[in-house]
A and B are shown apart, each in its own frame.
Chain A
Amino acid sequence: NAGVTQTPKFQVLKTGQSMTLQCAQDMNHNSMYWYRQDPGMGLRLIYYSASEGTTDKGEVPNGYNVSRLNKREFSLRLESAAPSQTSVYFCASSGGWTGELFFGEGSRLTVL
């Protein structure tokens, strides 16, 4: 059982380039989330999707877009990457009323 799978695990971009982080879960969860984690800080919510077809902004949505492609997949897009977006990005999913999130292993993004 793979759980939550993120790709790529590592990526280096130049300022202004675009890219998409992919996330897929195989637990039939309704809700999916994207967080970023910077050194010395906790996880900050970028966007989340309570169910297929819906998305909502989190704490730090600027510079990002998301797509809930279907129930399994939730992608995060950086249209014009900036050095401030250098971070580790985590995708997570949850299946019920509880807040238990299941996290992927993270995607480390560096923007030069």
Chain B
Amino acid sequence: GESVGLHLPTLSVQEGDNSIINCAYSNSASDYFIWYKQESGKGPQFIIDIRSNMDKRQGQRVTVLLNKTVKHLSLQIAATQPGDSAVYFCAERWGNTGKLIFGQGTTLQVKP
């Protein structure tokens, strides 16, 4: 079946640098995309979302970009901090069914 996938399993960045985490999705019917952060031993936490009729959305230090032409989603984190170290998941919602399908995750490691 169709699924969400991530390009890289681990990303290592220097503290203060910008991070870019990528995600490829294959379900053209998905209408909503979300990024989650998961710290060790905890449940995922919502970071930012974007609807399919948008191509960019900004939050505090984070930006999500959506390219529907190539079915690609990215999360940009500005001035990465040690507290940003976690696993990041993208997720897509299949139309209006409410089913939220997650990708495999990218581990972000921030070097001091």
Contact = CB atoms under 8 A, between A and B. Distances in A.
B104 A42 contact: yes
Interface residues of B, number: 26
A105 B44 CA distance: 9
B49 A100 contact: yes
A43 B99 contact: no
Most buried by B among A4, A58, A98, A101: A101
Given A40-B104, A45-B99, A50-B98, A99 B49 contact: yes
B52 to A, nearest CB: 12
A58 B99 contact: yes
Nearest to B32: A99
Contacts of B99: 45, 48, 56, 58
Interface in B77-98: 89, 91, 93, 97-98
A74 interface: no
B58 interface: no
A90 B5 CA distance: 20
Interface of A: 4, 31, 33, 35, 40-45, 48, 50, 56, 58-59, 90, 92, 94, 98-106
Interface of B: 1, 4, 9, 32-34, 36, 41-46, 49, 89, 91, 93, 97-105
